[in-house]
């Protein structure tokens, strides 16, 4: 059975993929649908949803289009989610691979270093990092990456430790392959499934973290984001519910979609679960 | 043996279909045999022959997707297949008991062994607590466990493999069943322990007059204990009869092929001289494992390799035999520098490789190659066979195109199709994978091959092919081979010299004729006496 057929057996995973596809499309097409900057007031302030057909999701207190904000916010959310996860995976895989493969002192050192990051509350550290450097999209992405790599490192370390003693790895040592080459070509391909599954779930967490930072006013000043929209709307919660509800729903739906995809990937990639539903 | 003619169990044209999409339609097809009270019936066959399937059908242990489609299993006049689950539950343990291959996983690790034996009686509502306790002591004593009074309070992990298997047998005997099914009960055990367990099964069978159905893949074991034999191949019974007839005058070609493949020392086949120059010299090698041990506890120290010395010439095969834990695998790993060495010298082509750093040794690795034990974990599942075979030469500076051409050549040499080059390991059987493993080792044109239990995981006919391939390659390429094995029959068949290891030390070393016909060390004598089927010569059966 091909990989996609196995993935498609998971009904929720297909729904997740469809939702994420729509969000991605929205993000890509945002400048075409809404040529005007989302920061620009374009209509009456505080229009409710469907009051004016030009602004189906309403406007905020400065007359900015909520729908345009959502479309541009999707770009920021997805961009930060993907890039910060990629950075975190690179850091986590490198540290985990070195620790798991070489063991001993190196393992001790790297794992104590990892624990150092794990013992600090992730969100608090992200706030501190963003506050120290100016809140730009780069610093936010890096801050999220820095707080989210430790679980990856732990996972990869465990996989490397168990694979290192496998006979095919021993065979690679015996034929004279060097350590880095064994790690990259022999062991790493065999750890990809759990890494991909974890990474897909980390994207969801990263989007949530970014939203939380923006909500607290630590977002990039030049980029519209879902978290910022909710943060800006909190003083108007009773007067203009739509200002916070729509971005909230956007976050919820996107994170849910990514989680569903992660679960689907897990089921499709985990050989132990294959045929479980048959 | 006066009850010889009473049929205890009759399997009548039993068929169990397999789910669609597998390589054959039936797990077992139209098989019939019977087991009489007071005899040992051996069901023998290779992996996938369906030999365990009937045992599971008798016990009602078939997985839910397998349902017998025809036939009957008549036990004392009643069809077991027609019985309801509650009825079967009463029969299980009381009339039919079973012992399994892996005594560690068959025992509950969190329960004392005495309680586990007593539990069998408890669930069948047998006796009161005091009576059960007496019976437990009696049983543990009967299966030859030392000091039953204290041993019954031990947890399974405290016992050795052989002792655990004895506990399993005690549990099986608790209710005096009329029939005992033993599914490869000695396969996971060392050869000396295996001999003791076989002896025990024979003794209790004679004492209790039970019918024993003994499932095994090993014809040596069959020769030791069987009264009658059923040979199975791919779900069919191909031959059955009295043990002496089947073993010494096999009729069916498959049986003949299997028996011909049983490893055995060829008479007078000792190669007198493999007269090459000395390739490897090991002097006073030692390796100690330390585990545990903190501030307040003493570390556990195991001398895995203890002052081992030997030498090996080109074109020679040295067998290293020993039981599990004897340090034979550690010795192999030391020779390849897969593990650190505590002391001694390993002179390869006159140069001591012990003090070399991993980086300094790497260019020399191509001369010393290894064939691994498990054909399933020794190939990277994510790489094609071609990639597996070229990785080594490429790492040693051979251009890729040249390495690929050589890899295709090697596939032919080890008897695989050229199309194997682009396929993945999971598409191959165990024997074929082991051939890939051998091709990988040969890709670097090594001078020394270390084969660590390289044929132990293979079926006997495949094992014979792989052994023949190795010997053939050795002659062609003038290889020196260190053959590590627990199976003395294999060592006797292919080695020029045999070294017997016991607790990390080589206790005796010499040509097979000396080791097997005139063993000097007490441990060697014990090992040789334990070889299953020692008195039986499979070569004479198929001449």
- Report the gap between the CA of B467 and the closest CA in chain A (Å): 20
Residues 6+ apart with CB under 8 A from B363: A176, B396
Please state, as a whole number, how many other Cβ atoms lie within 10 Å of the Cβ of residue A163.
21
A189 touches chain B (CB under 8 A): yes
Same domain, B83 and B123: no
Contact B377 A171 (CB under 8 A): no
Q: Is residue B164 part of a domain?
A: yes
Q: Is residue B485 part of a domain?
A: yes
Q: What domain count does chain B have?
A: 3
Share of chain A above pLDDT 70, in %: 96
Q: What domain count does chain A have?
A: 1
> What secondary structure letter does DSSP report for B111?
S
pLDDT of B482: 94
B526 to each of B20, B272, B520, how far by Cα in Å?
49, 26, 11
- Per the model's pLDDT, the better-predicted residue between A266 and B425 turns out to be B425
Q: Is residue A120 part of a domain?
A: yes
Same domain, B144 and B194: no
**Residue A114: domain span:** 3-273
Q: Is residue B389 part of a domain?
A: no
Across residues A7-24, what is the average pLDDT? 91
pLDDT of B286: 92
Same domain, B71 and B198: yes
Same domain, B231 and B303: no
What digits encode the pLDDT tens for the residues A231-261?
Answer: 888 888 888 899 999 999 999 999 999 999 9
Q: Is residue B371 part of a domain?
A: yes
Q: Is residue A278 part of a domain?
A: no
Q: Is residue A215 part of a domain?
A: yes
Q: Which residues from B are below 8 Å from A when comparing CB atoms?
A: 336, 338, 362-363, 365-366, 368-370, 372-374, 377-383, 391-392, 395-396, 437, 440-441, 443-444
Is residue A264 predicted with pLDDT exceeding 70? yes
- Report the gap between the CA of B99 and the closest CA in chain A (Å): 28
Strand partners, B483: B319, B451
pLDDT of B476: 86
What CATH number is associated with residue B22?
Answer: 3.40.50.300
Contact B437 A177 (CB under 8 A): no
Q: Tell me the three state secondary structure of residue B328.
A: helix
Same domain, B196 and B171: no
Tell which of B261, B291, B316 closes a domain: B261
Distance (Å, whole) CA B139 – CA B204 = 11
A-B contacts at Cβ under 8 angstroms: 66
- Report the gap between the CA of A244 and the closest CA in chain B (Å): 48
Tell which of B176, B201, B227 closes a domain: B176
Same domain, B461 and B325: yes
Distance (Å, whole) CA A116 – CA A110 = 10
Q: Tell me the three state secondary structure of residue B240.
A: strand
Angle between the N-to-C axes of helices B522-529 and B191-208, in degrees from 0 to 180, rounded to the nearest 10: 50
| Region of A137 on the Ramachandran plot (φ > 0 left; ψ -120 to 50 alpha; else beta) | alpha
Q: Is residue B457 part of a domain?
A: yes
Is residue A274 predicted with pLDDT exceeding 70? no
Contact B392 A175 (CB under 8 A): yes
Across residues A64-89, what is the average pLDDT? 93
Same domain, B235 and B345: no
Q: Is residue A200 part of a domain?
A: yes
Share of chain A above pLDDT 90, in %: 56
A170 touches chain B (CB under 8 A): yes
What CATH number is associated with residue A252?
Answer: 1.10.3720.10
Tell which of B145, B176, B207 closes a domain: B176
What stretch of H or E contains B88? helix B85-91
Is residue A111 predicted with pLDDT exceeding 50? yes
The backbone torsions φ and ψ at residue A153, rounded to the nearest 5 degrees and listed phi first, read -60, -45
Contact A175 B377 (CB under 8 A): no
Residue of A172, A173, A175 with shortest CB distance to B444: A175
- Report the gap between the CA of A174 and the closest CA in chain B (Å): 6
A162 touches chain B (CB under 8 A): no
Distance (Å, whole) CA B77 – CA B93 = 18
Q: Is residue B266 part of a domain?
A: no
Reading the block at residue A19, the tokens are 């939702």
Residue of A nearest to B332 (CA): A174
Residue of B369, B373, B380 with shortest CB distance to A174: B369
Same domain, B10 and B83: yes
Same domain, B235 and B369: no
Please state, as a whole number, how many other Cβ atoms lie within 10 Å of the Cβ of residue B471.
15
- Per the model's pLDDT, the better-predicted residue between B115 and A271 turns out to be B115
Is residue A278 predicted with pLDDT exceeding 60? no
Residue of B338, B363, B396 with shortest CB distance to A173: B338
What stretch of H or E contains B308? strand B300-313
What stretch of H or E contains B317? strand B317-321
Q: pLDDT digit of tens for each residue in chain B (543 aa)?
A: 444 456 888 898 899 888 877 777 888 888 999 898 889 999 998 888 888 888 888 888 888 888 888 888 888 888 888 888 888 888 887 888 888 887 778 888 899 999 999 988 888 887 888 999 999 998 998 888 888 888 889 898 888 888 888 899 899 888 888 899 998 888 878 888 888 889 888 988 888 888 999 999 888 899 999 999 999 998 889 999 999 899 999 999 999 988 988 888 876 555 555 567 889 999 999 998 887 666 666 777 888 899 999 999 988 999 999 888 888 889 999 999 998 889 899 999 888 999 998 889 998 899 999 999 888 889 998 889 999 999 999 999 899 999 999 999 999 888 888 889 999 888 888 888 988 999 999 999 899 999 998 888 788 888 888 898 888 888 888 899 999 998 888 898 889 999 999 989 999 999 988 898 889 999 999 988 888 888 888 888 877
Is residue A65 predicted with pLDDT exceeding 50? yes
Same domain, B204 and B183: yes
Strand partners, B96: B92, B179
Nearest to B373 by CA among A37, A111, A167, A255: A167
ipTM over 0.95: no
- Report the gap between the CA of A160 and the closest CA in chain B (Å): 14
pLDDT of B293: 64
Same domain, B462 and B335: yes
Q: Is residue B268 part of a domain?
A: no
**Residue B208: domain span:** 1-95+179-261
How buried is residue B298: exposed, middle or buried, by Cβ count under 10 Å (0-12/13-18/19+)? exposed
Same domain, B349 and B215: no
Q: Which string of DSSP letters, residue by residue, matches B146-177? A: S-HHHHTTS-GGGS-HHHHHHHHHHHHHTT--
Residue of B362, B363, B378 with shortest CB distance to A171: B378
Q: Is residue B419 part of a domain?
A: no
pLDDT of A276: 44
């Amino acid at each position: 059975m091909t990989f996609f057929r196995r993935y498609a057996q998971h009904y929720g995973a297909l729904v997740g993929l469809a939702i994420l596809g729509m969000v991605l499309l929205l993000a890509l097409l945002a400048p075409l649908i809404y040529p005007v900057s989302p920061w620009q007031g374009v209509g009456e302030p505080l229009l409710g949803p469907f009051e004016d057909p030009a602004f189906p999701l309403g406007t905020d207190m400065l007359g900015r289009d909520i729908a345009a904000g959502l479309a541009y916010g999707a770009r920021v959310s997805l961009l930060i989610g993907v890039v910060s996860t990629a950075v975190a995976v690179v850091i986590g895989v490198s540290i985990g691979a070195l620790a798991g493969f070489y063991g001993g002192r190196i393992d001790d050192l790297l794992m104590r270093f990892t624990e150092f990051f794990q013992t600090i509350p992730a969100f608090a550290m992200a706030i501190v990092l963003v506050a120290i450097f100016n809140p730009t999209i780069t610093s936010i992405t890096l801050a999220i990456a820095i707080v989210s790599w430790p679980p990856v490192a732990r996972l990869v370390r465990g996989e490397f430790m168990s694979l290192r003693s496998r006979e095919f790895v021993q065979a690679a040592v015996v034929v004279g392959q060097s350590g880095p080459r064994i790690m990259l070509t022999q062991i790493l391909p065999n750890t990809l499934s759990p890494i991909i599954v974890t990474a897909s779930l980390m994207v969801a967490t990263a989007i949530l973290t970014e939203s939380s930072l923006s909500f607290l006013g630590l977002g990039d000043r030049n980029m519209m984001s879902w978290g910022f929209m909710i943060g800006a709307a909190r003083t108007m919660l009773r007067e203009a519910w739509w200002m916070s509800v729509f971005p909230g729903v956007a976050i919820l739906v996107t994170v849910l979609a990514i989680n569903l995809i992660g679960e689907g990937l897990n089921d499709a990639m985990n050989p132990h679960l294959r045929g479980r539903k048959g | 043996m006066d009850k010889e003619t009473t049929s205890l169990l009759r399997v009548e044209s039993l068929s169990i279909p397999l789910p669609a999409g597998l390589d054959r339609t039936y797990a077992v097809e139209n098989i019939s045999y019977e087991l009489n009270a007071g005899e040992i019936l051996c069901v023998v066959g290779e992996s996938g022959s369906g030999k365990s399937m009937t045992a599971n059908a008798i016990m009602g242990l078939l997985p839910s997707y397998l349902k017998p489609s025809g036939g009957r299993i008549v036990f004392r006049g009643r069809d077991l297949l027609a019985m309801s689950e509650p009825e079967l539950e009463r029969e299980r343990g009381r009339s039919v008991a079973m012992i399994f291959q892996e005594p560690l996983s068959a025992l509950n690790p969190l329960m004392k062994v005495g309680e586990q034996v007593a539990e069998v009686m408890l669930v069948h509502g047998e006796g009161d607590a005091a009576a059960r306790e007496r019976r437990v002591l009696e049983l543990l004593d009967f299966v030859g466990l030392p000091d039953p009074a204290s041993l019954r309070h031990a947890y399974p992990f405290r016992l050795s493999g052989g002792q655990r298997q004895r506990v399993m047998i005690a549990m099986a005997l608790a209710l005096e069943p009329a029939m005992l099914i033993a599914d490869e009960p000695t396969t996971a055990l060392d050869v000396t322990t295996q001999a003791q367990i076989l002896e025990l099964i024979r003794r209790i069978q004679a004492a209790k007059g039970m019918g024993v159905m003994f499932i095994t893949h090993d014809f040596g074991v069959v020769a030791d204990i069987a009264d009658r034999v059923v040979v199975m191949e791919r779900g069919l019974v191909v031959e059955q009869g009295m043990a002496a007839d089947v073993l010494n005058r096999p009729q069916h070609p498959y049986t003949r092929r299997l028996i011909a493949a049983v490893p055995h020392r060829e008479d007078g086949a000792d190669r007198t001289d493999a007269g090459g120059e000395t390739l490897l010299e090991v002097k006073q090698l030692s390796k100690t494992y330390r585990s545990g041990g903190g501030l307040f506890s003493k570390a556990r120290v195991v001398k895995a390799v203890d002052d081992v010395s030997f030498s090996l010439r080109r074109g020679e095969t040295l067998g290293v035999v020993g039981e599990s834990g004897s340090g034979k695998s550690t010795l192999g790993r030391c020779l390849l520098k897969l593990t650190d060495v505590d002391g001694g010298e390993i002179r390869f082509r006159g140069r001591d490789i012990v003090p070399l750093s991993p980086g300094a040794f790497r260019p020399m690795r191509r001369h010393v190659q290894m064939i691994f034990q498990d054909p399933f974990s020794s190939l990277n599942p994510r790489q094609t066979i071609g990639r597996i075979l070229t990785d080594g030469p490429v790492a040693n500076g051979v251009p890729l195109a040249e390495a690929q051409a050589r890899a295709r050549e090697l596939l032919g040499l080890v008897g695989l199709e050229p199309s194997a080059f682009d396929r993945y390991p999971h598409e191959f059987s165990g024997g074929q994978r082991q051939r890939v493993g051998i091709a990988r080792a040969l890709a670097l044109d090594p001078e020394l091959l270390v084969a660590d239990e390289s044929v132990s995981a293979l079926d006997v006919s495949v094992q014979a092919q792989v052994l023949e391939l190795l010997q053939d390659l050795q002659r062609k390429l003038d290889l020196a081979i260190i053959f590590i094995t627990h199976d003395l029959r294999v060592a006797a068949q292919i080695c020029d010299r045999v070294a017997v290891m016991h607790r990390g030390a080589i206790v005796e070393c010499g040509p097979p004729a000396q080791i097997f016909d005139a063993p000097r060390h007490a441990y060697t004598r014990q090992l040789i006496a334990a070889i299953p089927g020692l008195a039986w010569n499979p070569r004479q059966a198929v001449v």
